[in-house]
Amino acid sequence: MATPSIDKHALDSFHAHLSQSKRVLALLGAGLSASSGLPTFRGAGGLWRSHDSISLATPEAFAADPSLVWHFYNYRRHMALQAQPNPAHYALAELARKLPGFQCLSQNVDGLSQRAEHPPDQLQLLHGTLFELKCASRRCDYHETNFTDPVVPALAIPTGGVDPTSNEARREAAAAQDKGQDLDISDVKVPIPSISTKDLPQCPKCNAHLLRPGVVWFGESLPASVLKNVDDFIDADAGIDLIIVIGTSAKVYPAAGYIDEAREKGARVCVVNMDTNDAPASGWAEGDWLFQGDAATVVPELLKPVIGEIKAKV
């Protein structure tokens, strides 16, 4: 993934603004974790075993085929646990420590910001996390933190004996990707079995319903406490100096709407994206910045005046 060089004039002007900013938002999307090896939702990365990832992220998909949807999320949990935070996750966590008026609004559910030790009260998980499970019934309030991989034995990734994280499997997936085929590195031509409901994760409280991933699917409300934290930050009298929009196609609401809400509170907008077509929904304004490139490279460079050099973690 070649990163174009960053325009020096734009970088200087961004650094000057950042250095005097006191209240800053960042809106994070899947592109932040792309260089950690996790696929995005839309575009080339958005297929899992020939299923469109977006079509699996709905309550209707779970109701229709909980086995298929659990296979998808079990795989995503596995991949996220194998992945490492990249320099952009660490840079944002460091900015949070250096700047108390900085809030990250993350659409990501992969847990990488948390593993980069991002201060929790400066990280709003708009779409939940893969590592929280909750009862699928709205009438039951059971939830738990859960990092078990596979989440239940029956969901072990069917690999036909090939380790999906092995170089061999990665090579196969890359070759398939080159040919425009399925991108899933666990897809070593072994069909996924349909698992009986009794072998999927069960709610231990009501003993009547399945557990489901603690993520926010289309048509569901975002967590009320998270929405309140975001609204309180945006509505504060002090205004907002800057919003940095990192690795998101900005097509999903209410997350995408926060860009314009911040703008209305005085924020200048800075976009970091591989694809220059992924503009804010309401378009560009005078004074916006666009830095094209890999977030893992660009973000540490952008934040350098406040955070200094990010040291590689081993």
Mind telling me the catalytic residues?
A: 127
Which of 220, 260 has the CB closer to ligand BJW? 220
Alpha-carbon separation of residue 306 from 33, 100, 194 (angstroms): 22, 12, 51
Strand partners, 212: 134
User: Residue 215 binds which one of Zn ion, ligand BJW, none, with CB within 5 to 8 A depending on kind?
Assistant: ligand BJW
Which of 63, 238 has the CB closer to ligand BJW? 63
Shortest Cβ distance from residue 228 to ligand BJW (Å)?
Answer: 15
Q: Is 203 annotated as a binding residue?
A: yes
Q: Which two tokens stand for residue 55?
A: 């079509």
User: Residue 220 binds which one of Zn ion, ligand BJW, none, with CB within 5 to 8 A depending on kind?
Assistant: ligand BJW
User: Residue 142 binds which one of ligand BJW, Zn ion, none, with CB within 5 to 8 A depending on kind?
Assistant: Zn ion
Q: Is 206 annotated as a binding residue?
A: yes
Where do contacts with Zn ion occur on this chain (CB under 5 A)?
A: 135, 140, 142, 203, 205-206, 209
Shortest Cβ distance from residue 195 to ligand BJW (Å)?
Answer: 19
Kindly write down the DSSP assignment for every residue of 211-237, as one continuous string.
Answer: EEEEEPPTTSPPPHHHHHHHHHHHHST
Backbone angles phi, psi at 225, to 5 degrees: -65, -35
Question: 30-53: buried (b, 16+ CB within 10 Å) or exposed (e) per residue?
Answer: bbbbbbbebbbbbeebbbbbebeb
Which of 107, 113 has the CB closer to ligand BJW? 107
Closest CA to 288 of 260, 311, 257, 308: 260
Q: Yes or no: say if 261 and 293 are a contact pair by the CB < 8 Å rule.
A: no
Backbone angles phi, psi at 210, to 5 degrees: -75, 155
Shortest Cβ distance from residue 191 to ligand BJW (Å)?
Answer: 22
Give the helix/strand (H/E) hosting 268. Answer: strand 268-273
User: Residue 203 binds which one of Zn ion, ligand BJW, none, with CB within 5 to 8 A depending on kind?
Assistant: Zn ion
> 149-156 contacts: CB < 8 A, separation 24 or more?
149/74, 149/77, 149/78, 149/81, 150/74, 150/78, 151/70, 151/73, 151/74, 151/77, 151/201, 152/199, 152/200, 152/201, 153/199, 154/195, 154/199, 154/200, 155/70, 155/71, 155/74, 155/195, 155/200
Which of 44, 208 has the CB closer to Zn ion? 208
Shortest Cβ distance from residue 278 to ligand BJW (Å)?
Answer: 4
Shortest Cβ distance from residue 216 to Zn ion (Å)?
Answer: 18
Q: Is 270 annotated as a binding residue?
A: no
Q: Yes or no: say if 113 and 123 are a contact pair by the CB < 8 Å rule.
A: yes
Which of 54, 306 has the CB closer to ligand BJW? 54
User: Residue 60 binds which one of ligand BJW, Zn ion, none, with CB within 5 to 8 A depending on kind?
Assistant: none
Where do contacts with ligand BJW occur on this chain (CB under 6 A)?
A: 29-31, 34-35, 40-42, 54, 57, 107, 109, 127, 215-221, 247-249, 251-254, 272-275, 278, 294-295
Residues flagged as binding site: 135, 140, 203, 206
Residues flagged as binding site for Zn(2+): 135, 140, 203, 206
